[in-house]
């Protein structure tokens, strides 16, 4: 069968479900104009596996090793890994002439993260910049992370063809040795400054790699939806040191809330500096910087994957499977707000009002300052015509200090429903 005929094996609505899963798993947004491309790529996978889309969806939402392997393959096909040495020299000059000298004033140990580093060219370019600055490089550590396992494997090898050097001056070529007519390998003095990890910025814990003076995340957010950018930004905020720098592609954060950062404008670009009061870093945390062994990173990923799976199953309407994944997650993190809220949503979707109310009661007990469980419980009570209890809860929730404008609107609406029903 051709990939075109396999395209016919994609049932209606399944390609949208696959796009949704890709977004939840990686942050990558498949735009409407890219759906045909995705359909063709999935058709090729269906052909290779001899699957229809229903079976393929089951594989993607499974938690076994085969599912993990298929995700690697799919991400490898979908994620754009375009990169080269010394890409965007203006930005690198800002790092070289402003950021590094600033750090050298106070920091003895410089820690940089390249998030979404693809095949490692950006990481090695940063290491070369540090070396050129005359800094004692035995004290520098540059981490490269990417969710694409094949890219990270290539980065670790440190062997490149001329295509990777298309933005690189002859001066910088001195840091590479020719291995044959077409390949160059990075110098061991540079390699010793870096370390690479397979890590998913959306799903995995980042803080396990420790705190950073600089996070470089270029040409990654352009492929993300807004919510995923916010999520990753909050992780960056969490693991930047006070006054740490965030450097992204030129316009990648234009529409984001950057309140926690100072925006520093240069002639050739903009960088962001975390306001010190928003950093979680305390000097005693230096000792807490955890060894970044691959196994640790994977361990954390696996924990979060149960939650991602639970959400995926829930949205696909596979509630039993969602429940199983969720319980696995809750065994490790019993009081997690998001997981407990999902437990309520599952009970609600199953039509089990009693369970749903119990879950909301637990959430209110665990998180008395969170408005959403109260609002959901009021909706359930109104449905059951329990108007007295509804108005009691309405007066409690109205007094919470954590109400968002949407919460306030919803409370107003529920109050008027409640009073019109009581009359
Ligand atoms: C275009 S490359 C950018 C490489 C490099 N930063 C540069 O600017 O040259 C984008 C990279 O982001 C990675 N990526 C996409 N989503 C990711 C995620 N959720 N977690 C980690 N890496 C991700 C892709 O695998 C890809 O290698």
- For each of the domains in the chain, give its residue range(s) and CATH number, in order of start: 3-78 (1.10.155), 89-292 (3.40.50.150)
DSSP state of 211: -
SS3 196: strand
**79 CA to centre of ligand 1 in angstroms:** 7
R_g over Cα of the chain: 25
**29 CA to centre of ligand 1 in angstroms:** 13
Is any atom of ligand 1 closer than 6 Å to the C-beta of 147? yes
**In the prediction, which pLDDT does 375 show?**
94
Among 347, 421, 408, 346, which Cα is nearest to 372's? Answer: 408
Q: Taking the complete model, does pTM exceed 0.75, yes or no?
A: no
Among 390, 394, 403, which Cα is nearest to 357's? Answer: 390
* Residues comprising the chain, all counted: 423
Pocket-testing residue among 71, 91, 116, 205, ligand 1, by greatest number of atoms within 8 A of Cβ: 116
Place of tokens 């494997």: 153
Q: Whose CA is nearest to atom 27 of ligand 1?
A: 118
- pLDDT by residue, tens only, the chain of 423 residues: 455 566 678 988 999 999 999 999 999 999 999 999 999 999 999 999 999 999 999 999 887 899 999 999 999 999 999 999 999 999 999 999 999 989 888 877 899 999 999 999 999 999 999 999 888 888 899 999 999 999 999 999 999 999 999 989 999 999 999 999 999 999 999 999 999 999 999 999 898 899 999 999 999 999 999 999 999 999 999 999 999 999 999 889 988 889 999 999 988 889 999 998 888 786 544 433 433 333 333 333 555 777 878 887 787 788 888 888 888 787 777 778 888 899 999 999 888 888 899 899 988 888 888 899 999 999 999 988 898 999 999 999 999 988 888 788 889 999 988 888 876
Is any atom of ligand 1 closer than 6 Å to the C-beta of 83? yes
Helix (H) or strand (E) holding 278: none
SS3 178: strand
**Helices 353-366, 371-383: crossing angle, 10 deg rounding:** 150
**In the prediction, which pLDDT does 295 show?**
35
For 28-38, write each residue's pLDDT tens digit: 999 999 999 99
Is any atom of ligand 1 closer than 6 Å to the C-beta of 120? no
Helix (H) or strand (E) holding 32: none
For 57-87, write each residue's pLDDT tens digit: 999 988 789 999 999 999 999 999 999 999 9
Q: What CA–CA distance (Å, rounded) separates 49 from 290? A: 40
- Give the side-chain half-sphere CA count within 13 A for 405: 0
Q: What CA–CA distance (Å, rounded) separates 72 from 79? A: 10
**201 CA to centre of ligand 1 in angstroms:** 9
**163 CA to centre of ligand 1 in angstroms:** 18
Q: Whose CA is nearest to atom 11 of ligand 1?
A: 116
**Burial (CB count <10 Å: 0-12, 13-18, 19+), residue 305:** buried
**146 CA to centre of ligand 1 in angstroms:** 6
Contacts of residue 179, defined as CB under 8 A and 6 or more positions apart, other chains included, come to: 159, 185
For 269-322, write each residue's pLDDT tens digit: 899 999 988 887 865 444 334 333 333 333 335 557 778 788 877 877 888 888
**In the prediction, which pLDDT does 287 show?**
37
**In the prediction, which pLDDT does 303 show?**
58
**4 CA to centre of ligand 1 in angstroms:** 29
Q: How far, in Å, are 50, 139, 219 from residue 216 at the CA level? A: 40, 19, 10
**In the prediction, which pLDDT does 284 show?**
44
Q: What CA–CA distance (Å, rounded) separates 329 from 98? A: 44
CB 119 within 8 A of CB 157: no
């Amino acid at each position: 069968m051709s990939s075109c005929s396999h395209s016919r094996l994609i049932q209606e609505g399944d390609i949208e479900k696959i796009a949704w899963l890709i977004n939840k798993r990686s942050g990558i947004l498949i735009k409407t104009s890219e759906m045909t491309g995705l359909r063709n790529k999935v058709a090729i996978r269906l052909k290779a596996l001899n699957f229809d889309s229903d079976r393929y969806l089951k594989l993607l939402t499974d938690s076994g090793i085969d599912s993990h392997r298929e995700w690697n393959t799919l991400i490898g096909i979908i994620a754009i890994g375009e990169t080269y040495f010394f890409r965007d020299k203006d930005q690198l000059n800002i790092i070289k002439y402003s950021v590094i000298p600033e750090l050298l004033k106070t920091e003895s140990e410089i820690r940089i993260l390249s998030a979404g580093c693809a095949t490692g060219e950006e990481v090695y370019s940063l290491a070369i910049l540090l070396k050129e600055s005359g800094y004692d490089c035995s004290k520098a550590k540059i981490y490269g992370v990417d969710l694409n396992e094949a890219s990270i494997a290539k980065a670790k090898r440190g062997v490149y063809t001329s295509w990777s050097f298309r933005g690189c001056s002859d001066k910088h070529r001195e840091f590479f040795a020719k291995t044959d007519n077409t390949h160059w390998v990075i110098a061991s003095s540079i390699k010793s400054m870096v370390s690479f990890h397979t890590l998913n910025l959306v799903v995995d814990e980042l803080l396990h790699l420790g705190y950073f003076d600089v996070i470089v995340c270029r040409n990654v957010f352009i492929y993300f939806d807004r919510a995923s950018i916010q999520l990753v930004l909050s992780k960056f905020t969490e693991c930047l040191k006070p006054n740490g720098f965030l450097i992204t592609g030129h316009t990648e954060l234009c529409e984001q809330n950057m309140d926690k950062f100072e925006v520093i404008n240069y002639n050739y670009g903009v960088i962001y500096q975390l306001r010190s009061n928003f950093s979680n870093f305390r000097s005693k945390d230096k000792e807490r910087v955890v060894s970044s062994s691959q196994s640790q990173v994977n361990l954390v990923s696996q924990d979060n994957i149960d939650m991602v799976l639970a959400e995926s199953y829930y949205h696909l309407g596979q509630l039993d499977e969602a429940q199983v994944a969720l319980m696995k997650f809750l065994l490790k993190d019993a009081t997690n707000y998001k997981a407990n809220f999902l437990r309520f949503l599952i009970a609600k979707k199953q039509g089990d009002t009693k369970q749903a109310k119990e879950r909301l009661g637990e959430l209110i007990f665990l998180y008395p300052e969170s408005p959403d469980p109260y609002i959901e419980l009021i909706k359930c009570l109104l449905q059951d015509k329990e108007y007295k209890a509804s108005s009691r809860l309405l007066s409690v929730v109205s007094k919470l200090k954590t109400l968002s404008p949407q919460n306030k609107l919803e409370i107003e609406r529920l109050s008027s429903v409640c009073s019109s029903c009581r009359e």
